[in-house]
Structure 1
Amino acid sequence: MGYSQEQTEFAESSPTLGAEYKAASEVANRFLVHWQEEHAEKLAKAVMKPLMDEIQSQVWDAFRDYLFCDTEYNAAGVMRDMVENSVKALIGGEKWANRKYISPEGYRTEEVRKTLAKLYADEIKDARIADLEKEVEQLNERLRWRYD
């Protein structure tokens, strides 16, 4: 087997490399094309698929964790608002709240009243006395203004 016309022309224009270099380069290129067609894509898929699957898994995990965290914050906020609104309703004298939580008509309200009385009886009594004393003082001031 001899060299092709192209290889011979290459050897004449590049005597240092010669026809052998051109022939070897062509063989290497044919092998590379064959390898790419037959093996490179399969190898790339085999190498990349686990990596891509892991990346996808990590992204989905991060997204799911974000959604759960956001849902947790939202649920906690709703629960906190419900508790605050119930306390405001009780303090504000809303009949439904008093009936539900502290009146004898409500479910298990005796325990709530008993617990509140144990925990805050003195504080509630003292605060109410202070409120009434302040109110008496304001009324006395009004009376002084009227009769002075």
Structure 2
Amino acid sequence: MTEPAGNAVDQLAAEINEVGARASKTVELGRRGFTIAVLTFVLLVAQILPWVGDHAGWQVLLGQGGGIPQLFAATSTGIGVVASALALASRRWWLAWVCAAGGWFATVDGLLSIWSQQSSHAGGAVGAGPGYGMVIAWVAMIVLAVNWMRTAFSRA
């Protein structure tokens, strides 16, 4: 039995609209997706490197080493690793915006963390300067935020 021509056209139109709606909610990452994945891995590696004194990044995340570095550890892990992984896996446009905005917040927070460690001897805080893991994480967050911002604006 053959379907009426109008019914087939309506089904095709509905399918095309569905594909269009799905495409409008996603971003195409291309090579930038690989760069973001590498930067996410760099952030994970930075967690095992020294951040504050002898404390590694994961220890700072758990509360050792001061409040400002702990906030940077939380934002760089939450946005740079968790949200980036979710956005890479789902390719959702709104998650790209979350990563872009959160990445810039984490970048500013990282700058404050480095500054707090450079001036810690004045306030008696832990650390005699930022550890190289914190600096690597900060640079990775800057590049990650730039990549997420370019991705988010690619749909605008």
Q: Same fold (TM over 0.5)?
A: no
**More RCO (CA 8 Å, sep 6+):** 2
User: TM-score band, normalised by the shorter chain?
Assistant: under 0.3
> Which one has the largest radius of gyration?
1
TM-score by length of 2: 0.24
Higher helix share: 1
